[in-house]
Structures are given as structure tokens and as C-alpha cells.
Amino acid sequence: MAKKKRRYSPRSGKEVENEMRRFKRGTAKSGNGGRGGKVKSRKQAIAIGLSKAREKGEKVPQKAA
């Protein structure tokens, strides 16, 4: 069986993990520079983590249009 190509880098997973930790503690903020409101959903926290990974140049699929 052919090996599947990895879609996300391990480092991007860590970025999402860190953001989820902030979300659970209640310290995750949304918006530019974290000046927005509190992150209210798991999906939002994951999206922020992936976005941060993209900014750092990690291997992450492109944002859905």
C-alpha cells in the first residue's frame, strides 16, 4: 500500500495544540494582534492555530475560499 503524503507538518500540529490550550484556559483572543474578543469555539481556536502556522511558513493546506 502506498504511503500517504503528510498534509500538515508536525510543527503546525503543535501550533494548533498550543492554541487549543489557550482556548481551554480562556486566554485565547481572536482578531488582529489579539485585540478582538474571546475565542468561543473549538473550530475558531483550530483555525487560529493553523493561521499562525501559515504565517510561520509551516506546511499547511491553503485557506479554503
- Please give the average per-residue pLDDT across 7-31, as a whole number: 92
This prediction's pTM: 0.81
Q: Look at residue 34 in the predicted model and tell me its pLDDT.
A: 65
Per residue in 25-62, pLDDT (tens digit) is: 999 988 777 678 899 999 999 999 999 999 999 999 88
How do the domains of the chain map onto residue ranges?
10-55
Per-residue 3-state assignment (H helix, E strand, C coil) for the chain? CCCCCCCCCHHHHHHHHHHHHHHHHCCCECCHHHCCCECCCHHHHHHHHHHHHHHCCCCCCCCCC
